[in-house]
Amino acid sequence: MNIYVIMKRTFDTEEKIEINNGLIDEEGAEFIINPYDEYAIEEAIVLREEHGGEVTVLTVGDEDAEKELRTALAMGADQAVLLDIEDLDEEPDHYTVSEMLSAYLKDKEFDLILGGNVAVDDGAGQVGPRLAEKLGINQVTTITKIEINGEKAVIERDVEGDVETVEAQLPLLATAQQGLNEPRYPSLPGIMKAKKKPLETLDLDDLDLEEDDIEAKTKTLERFLPPEKGAGKVLSGETNDQVTELVDLLKNEAKVI
């Protein structure tokens, strides 16, 4: 099994968001592997343990992302590749990222590409299906279970709460949903070994791409925080009185029931 995992470095979900000059303030923020991508990395390692082969983790970003790639190597991935977009003049979008990934993957041999179904920062979930289309391969999104059976994968996927069992032909791009597995923590020997594992950095030239070819098709005009909520009303009195007051407020003030 040759498996590639596409992953993204994201803000820790514990972080509060602040905006400075229209950009998300990254000063002092903790970064992590996007939690959904972590499920993908774990699953790739489990599948390799069962079927043999190699796991390559792949990200688009700048050199800061090396830290998260090393974490994935410490979990057990065999090698890592950073597609460096530090030199891009314009802000990238999902189109840019998919073009970068497909430029790298188009002449590689693989059975499976895994990734998270969405990243917790941007939340669009576009890159997986875009990449599958660009590579002309099959896709199954929001998976919660996968078994490889020769040329096929038997998969359970989450469809807004329902469970759908599908049989999908390889090569396949599958995106992870919560519930797929419990990602392992890197062990100390894992962390030591990760330092010696190969981590390759490629830029646009290495991928034979021109900036014009991968220019974003969308543009962010503005970022803003939701309006601060005023303090709410905490009710008091006996339970029954509070409940009566609440129902009255919901009905007559908030008008939601």
Residue 239 in the binding site for other proteins (CB under 8 A): yes
Of 47-55, 76-84, 186-194, 244-252, the window that binds other proteins (rule: CB under 8 A) is: 244-252
Min separation Cβ 63 and other proteins, Å: 23
Applying CB under 8 A, among 49, 50, 147, 246 the residue interacting with other proteins is 246
CA-to-CA distance for 252 and 257, rounded, in angstroms?
Answer: 9
Which positions ≥6 away from 54 have C-beta within 8 Å? Answer: 1, 2, 3, 48, 78, 79
Pairing mode, if any, of strands 23-24 and 19-20?
A: antiparallel
For the segment 88-107, give every residue that binds other proteins (CB under 8 A): 93-95, 98
Applying CB under 8 A, among 167, 187, 195, 211 the residue interacting with other proteins is 167
CA dist 38 to 6, 10, 45, 107, 225, Å?
A: 10, 11, 11, 25, 28
Coil vs helix vs strand at 145: strand
For the segment 198-227, give every residue that binds other proteins (CB under 8 A): 215-226
Q: Cβ(61)–Cβ(84) under 8 Å? A: yes
Min separation Cβ 200 and other proteins, Å: 25
Pairing mode, if any, of strands 54-61 and 162-169?
A: unpaired
Of 10-18, 40-48, 59-67, 187-195, the window that binds other proteins (rule: CB under 8 A) is: 10-18
For the segment 136-165, give every residue that binds other proteins (CB under 8 A): 138-142, 154, 158-165
Buried b (16+ CB within 10 A) or exposed e, 33-64: bbbbbbbbbbbbbbbbeeeebebbbbbbbeee
For the segment 15-74, give every residue that binds other proteins (CB under 8 A): 16-17, 19, 24, 35-36
**Total binding residues for other proteins by CB under 8 A?**
80
For the segment 173-192, give every residue that binds other proteins (CB under 8 A): 178-179
CA-to-CA distance for 58 and 16, rounded, in angstroms?
Answer: 27
Residues in a beta bridge with 54 = 2
Applying CB under 8 A, among 20, 86, 147, 242 the residue interacting with other proteins is 242
Nearer of residues 188 and 221 to other proteins, judged by Cβ = 221
Applying CB under 8 A, among 61, 128, 183, 186 the residue interacting with other proteins is 128
